[in-house]
Chains A and B, each alone.
Chain A
């Protein structure tokens, strides 16, 4: 049942992403609405799958890399769907939906590991930690998408060489605002997620600050976004540099999230393997 739901969700994401790709080529609002709807349907199925899996194990299903990726994809879809409602920037879907598909497919095709049950996962703190960090990552992913759009558009205006995207992409100011919005929402969540994580870890592990690579990378990521936010607020950094930093920051998020899990060992790898 769970697998079926996941497959349906994946198909929905692929269709929605394809729809957004066509929308990129043809400016028809109906394409956006259909794609948005398909993504929503996918998210519902996906949510059910996660719920079923969590209920059957007794804790939030993020303890394997597959589950974590799948959960992240789900959070990303939900974040995108909500942000879209708020911002009404349809073309954003064309840049974010491929990310969703990538995460979803990765989660399906990475080999599964069975993780022994552990009491650690059952705490509410654990859920809050994971959710807030993932939510922040999803917002950073949106900022990443907006950053790419910004760079594409800025390049065209600066070089005075107007390609296809010129008319399809929104104004620079708008893209920069999205970058800022995602940063302002994502940074506190990331900070909170880290603090809760450290606090919770110190209560369940004997040496919480064990220079776990994931923790180090999470701090590096935090630092990148802290710099971005500080420069934005203090000296009014914006535009191209902010877009690059958002892209750079999200790469750090990916390394923290995936790179460390897959290639390095540490605290987190004890259970995410």
Chain B
């Protein structure tokens, strides 16, 4: 039987230093999905990497071997840091827990800012990539689609999204505590990321008038400048920009810090010590942490913003409980579907279909031949029964034999098409989701088959 495994780390388990290492690696290398051939024990794989999390979701028949393979892949990516160092920050969820975790991620319950909407988009983008690499098939396809619909359900049935305070909003709140009024403040946008753009929009909404954009690629800078009605400066002149600006939003993909202690320190006198606020959304960080030590300079990286976010998270806890409930419910539903994925339902459907045909044909025959004695009727019943049984014997045996093969789905699929049975989650699945008793029978039967 296959296992569903989720291996990953997020902002709760790993410090930004570790996560940024991974993010760097992922930019330099090809997506780990392209390395699927290196993972012989992994059947399907999905890979998600955002600035707050890295998750590998995969299915496998040999859980231990597959997990070891994925971990090796992860270590390779990170440039082989001591495995023990990484191990402490990793979490592994299996089957039901993996499903639940994914649903929590998609509904933004696991986000740094609970309820923020970006994660769903990131998840969808990652899924698109996985489909392009053909690393997701029956199970993960279904699971990911389900995770999108769960996210939608959580969003529409709870208030969690409506007062979702995103990181960017938290950053704006912080700017208010430093500057008071934001009207007339100058903002410098360095690099272009979705989060930074969101923060920039928030700042504009708060009355910031002067915005300057700089980016390594000029075209992108111009594009952003048009959007925010901003000026642009060349990326090399970033230092001069620091002289006049009040709030700096950085989100470049640079592997090394682009703003150093000396950069800022030397400009504070020219600035006449006016406060300078760095919002560093980039992973890896764009601003040296040491910059925060300079008087009147405040540096917040993505982990620090967590602290601000915590302040207004309390009132969302109640809604989060509701969301958790939805997720538990959906997780159980998905588990039921998973169980039906095995051959059992197909066999049941096959038998049911044959039995229905036999019953209706018998019915017709008996009405045409009303003179038959009870004994004769019985004989015909036995005859038809054994024909059906013998005819189905080989296909069923075949399916049972293939039940623990990788190619099982293929055979299940063929069988279903051949006999025109409803699809994998057809009759059997609906009856399963409706009554848990059936689910138990199914599992029992599955065990017998596997023996």
Residues of A within 8 A of B (CB): 153, 157-158, 160-162, 166-167, 170-174, 235-241
**What is the CA–CA distance of A167 and B174 in the complex, to the nearest angstrom?**
10
Does B348 belong to the interface (CB within 8 Å)? no
Q: How many angstroms between the C-alpha atoms of A158 and B295 in the bound complex?
A: 9
Q: Are B295 and A239 in contact (CB under 8 A)?
A: yes
A167 to B311, Cβ gap below 8 A?
yes
Nearest Cβ on chain B to A245's Cβ, whole angstroms: 13
Interface string of B147-184 (1 = CB under 8 A from A): 00000000000000000000000000010111111000
The reply to whether B275 and A237 contact each other, CB–CB distance below 8 Å, is no
Contact A160 B272 (CB under 8 A): no
Task: Identify B180's interface contact among A162, A166, A171, CB under 8 A.
Answer: A171
> Quick check: A173 and B300 within 8 Å, CB to CB?
no
Q: Is B308 an interface residue (CB 8 A)?
A: yes
The 8 A-B residue pairs whose C-beta atoms are closest, nearest first, are: A236-B272, A171-B180, A173-B180, A236-B273, A239-B296, A160-B304, A174-B180, A173-B179
A160-B180 contact, Cβ under 8 Å, with A239-B273, A239-B275:
no
Contact across chains for B180 and A158 when beta carbons are under 8 A apart: no
22 contacts across the A-B interface (CB closer than 8 A): A153-B177, A157-B177, A157-B178, A158-B292, A162-B308, A166-B311, A167-B311, A171-B176, A171-B178, A173-B178, A173-B179, A173-B180, A173-B275, A174-B180, A236-B271, A236-B274, A237-B273, A238-B274, A239-B273, A239-B295, A239-B296, A240-B295
Contact B176 A235 (CB under 8 A): no
Contact in complex: B176, A238 (CB < 8 Å): no
Q: Which residues of A contact B295 (CB under 8 A)?
A: 239-241
Residues of A within 8 A of B269 (CB): 235
Choice from B178, B272, B307 contacting A162 with Cβ under 8 Å: B307
| In contact, A158 and B298 (Cβ under 8 angstroms) | yes
The answer to whether A160 touches B178 (Cβ under 8 A) is: no
Collect the chain B residues with CB atoms within 8 Å of residue A153's CB. 177
Q: For the complex, what is the distance from the CA of A236 to the CA of B269, rounded to whole Å?
A: 8
Cα A32 to Cα B432 with chains together (Å)? 64
**How far, in whole Å, are A241 and B268 apart by their CA atoms in the complex?**
14
Which B residues touch A160, using CB under 8 A? 300, 304, 307
Instruction: Give chain B's interface residue range (CB within 8 Å of chain A).
Output: 20 to 34
Shortest Cβ gap from B31 to chain A (Å): 34
B336 to chain A, nearest CB (A): 44
Among residues of A, the one whose C-beta sits closest to the C-beta of B306 is A160
Q: Which residue of B lies closest to A234 (CB)?
A: B272
Are A157 and B296 in contact, with the CB atoms below 8 A? no
Contact with A along B277-319 (1 / 0, CB 8 A): 0000000000000001001101010001001101100000000
**Cα(A162)–Cα(B180), bound, Å:** 17
A171, B177: Cβ atoms closer than 8 Å: yes
- CB pair B178–A172 under 8 Å, yes or no, is yes
Enumerate chain A residues within 8 angstroms of B300, measured Cβ to Cβ: 160
Q: Are the CB atoms of B304 and A240 closer together than 8 Å?
A: no
- Chain A residues with CB under 8 A of B298: 157-158
Contact B296 A240 (CB under 8 A): yes
Do B177 and A172 have beta carbons less than 8 Å apart? yes
By a CB distance below 8 angstroms, the chain B residues around A236 are 271-274
| Min CB gap A239→B, angstroms | 5
State in angstroms the CA–CA spacing of A151 and B428 once bound together.
68
Nearest CB on A from B185, distance (A): 10
In the bound assembly, the distance between CA atoms of A162 and B173 in angstroms comes to 13
Find out whether the CB atom of B179 lies under 8 angstroms from the CB atom of A238: no
Nearest-Cβ distance from residue A179 to partner chain B, whole angstroms: 13
In the bound complex, how far is the Cα of B176 from the Cα of A172, in angstroms? 9
Question: How many Å lie between the Cα of A157 and that of B307 in the bound state?
Answer: 10
> A153-B177, A158-B292, A158-B298 given as contacts; is B275 within 8 A of A172 (CB)?
yes
Q: Tell me the minimal C-beta distance from A16 to chain B in angstroms.
A: 27
CA distance A238 to B271 in the complex (A): 11
Q: How far is the CB of B280 from chain A (nearest CB, A)?
A: 12
Q: Closest CB-CB distance, B167 to chain A, in whole Å?
A: 14
Contacts of A237 in B (CB 8 A): 273
> Closest Cβ of chain A: how far from B388's Cβ, in Å?
73
Instruction: Report the Cα distance A235→B273, complex, angstroms.
Output: 8
Is the Cβ of A235 less than 8 Å from the Cβ of B272?
Answer: yes
Task: Give residues of chain B (234-278) contacting chain A, Cβ–Cβ below 8 Å.
Answer: 269, 271-275
Residues of A within 8 A of B176 (CB): 171
Q: Please, how many angstroms separate the alpha-carbon atoms of A158 and B179 in the complex? A: 14
A237: min CB distance to chain B, Å: 6
Residues of A within 8 A of B273 (CB): 235-239
CA distance A170 to B177 in the complex (A): 7
- Given A160-B307, A162-B307, A173-B180, 9 additional A-B pairs, CB 8 A: A157-B177, A157-B298, A161-B307, A166-B311, A171-B176, A171-B180, A172-B177, A239-B275, A239-B296
- Chain A residue nearest in CB terms to B307: A160
Whole-angstrom distance between the Cβ of B238 and the nearest chain A Cβ? 22
Taking the closest CB of chain A, its distance from the CB of B309, in whole angstroms, is 10
Contacts of A239 in B (CB 8 A): 273, 275, 295-296
Q: How far is the CA of A171 from the CA of B271 in the complex (A)?
A: 20
